Chains A and B, each alone.
Chain A
């Protein structure tokens, strides 16, 4: 019996085209539909071949991402993938579940873009007056709420996973098909990042400064990163520090109504920083602060 030739869809997210191939027509239809706005005619930089297994429910297990020689191994209860760093090709064993597919793609992009000085962030993002604004925070902080409150002239990039890459002047945000509660893919477009806001809901709308270390701490908590790899961890921490140095980062406390977007539109990144250097030479006995485990949510 002749084997069926795999069919390919090229999906370009964050400006990185990846060929996804499968012999299963139903799965091909699923991924073409799911990534409809992100299908591309570009020459793929990377390839992933899908080998579908019988149905296994999506898993809440921690994902494990580690290297064996030239290969990255991506493992969770519902998928097992190998991706060769040198050839750019990989295979994925998973069921036809779209959530597993999303997870594999997000992890792969997190590896690729980390090496290029970018990252994926748990954040909603939108373009307003030609500039991208990011809204990050823990689950329930208001990412989807911010997108629901957005005025009609706003272009939604995502309500869940933002894609950031460096540019000569700072960073660019790209739309992604990875949707949260809004259940709607972002627009496939890009814009320079004007600001990142960490969301908190409160009785009034206000913007507050964050110290650089607090900004990095919050950023690291919300970056999607899974690799147990010293070199990439070094790179990611350097990227986070660079991002904090080049992009205004604030805490945005907001009352959930549309007026919060007036505050975003009027945001002035140049107001004075209030970080007085520590002059108190007394011993601060809280030596190691803010221990946090960076969550591995794929």
Chain B
């Protein structure tokens, strides 16, 4: 999948709560529980299904954290792949409609 057209959306099967700057997520489908660090929380919160991942990394990560843009993009893609494998994020090369989540 070309990296410049990755769209991500939060799954409807999860419960999420922010506490002390970190996001806690529980997936009701398989009872997995995650805590996300501050960076991952920024990506997760921006996962609206309409904003490309590259734009999220540029505006939410590189603007706020001291990080190499290419490294940040690679790390973000790895993170997205991991969470999508657990059904927490939905990933598509097209914008995701709300009903698809």
Residue numbers of A with Cβ under 8 A of B are 211-213, 216-217, 220-221, 225, 227-230, 232-234, 236-238, 241, 244, 275, 277-278, 281-294, 296
Main secondary structure on A side of the interface with B: mixed
Neighbouring B residues of A234 by C-beta, 8 Å? 15
Q: How far is it, in angstroms, between the C-alpha of A227 and the C-alpha of B15 when the chains are bound?
A: 13
Given A216-B19, A287-B36, A294-B31, 16 more contacts at CB 8 Å?
A: A212-B19, A216-B24, A220-B33, A221-B33, A225-B31, A232-B28, A237-B17, A237-B24, A238-B17, A278-B38, A281-B65, A282-B67, A290-B33, A290-B34, A291-B32, A293-B32
Q: How far is it, in angstroms, between the C-alpha of A216 and the C-alpha of B15 when the chains are bound?
A: 14
Nearest-Cβ distance from residue A120 to partner chain B, whole angstroms: 15
A-B CB contact pairs (8 Å), 29 listed: A212-B20, A220-B26, A221-B33, A228-B28, A228-B29, A229-B28, A230-B13, A233-B15, A233-B26, A236-B15, A237-B17, A244-B19, A275-B20, A281-B64, A281-B66, A282-B67, A283-B66, A283-B67, A283-B71, A284-B37, A286-B37, A287-B79, A288-B37, A288-B79, A288-B82, A289-B35, A290-B33, A291-B86, A293-B31
B30 partner, pick from A212, A230, A275, A293, beta carbons under 8 A = A293
- Residue of chain A at shortest CB distance from B30: A293
Interface size of B in residues (CB-CB distance below 8 Å): 40
In the complex, per-residue mask of B32-63: 1 if CB is within 8 Å of any chain A CB, else 0: 11111111100100000000000000000100
Nearest-Cβ distance from residue B17 to partner chain A, whole angstroms: 5
Closest 3 CB pairs of A and B: A287-B40, A233-B28, A287-B79
Neighbouring B residues of A216 by C-beta, 8 Å? 17, 19, 24, 35
- Knowing A278-B21, A283-B72, A289-B37, the reply to whether A296 touches B61 (Cβ < 8 A) is no
Neighbouring A residues of B66 by C-beta, 8 Å? 281-283
B83 within 8 A of A: yes
- Knowing A213-B19, A213-B20, the reply to whether A296 touches B28 (Cβ < 8 A) is no
Main secondary structure on B side of the interface with A: mixed
- Knowing A278-B38, A284-B38, the reply to whether A237 touches B26 (Cβ < 8 A) is yes
Q: How far is it, in angstroms, between the C-alpha of A293 and the C-alpha of B1 when the chains are bound?
A: 29
- Residue of chain A at shortest CB distance from B31: A294
Q: How far is it, in angstroms, between the C-alpha of A230 and the C-alpha of B31 when the chains are bound?
A: 11
Neighbouring A residues of B32 by C-beta, 8 Å? 291-294
On whether the beta carbons of A294 and B64 are closer than 8 Å, the reply is no
Q: How far is it, in angstroms, between the C-alpha of A286 and the C-alpha of B28 when the chains are bound?
A: 23
On whether the beta carbons of A230 and B28 are closer than 8 Å, the reply is yes
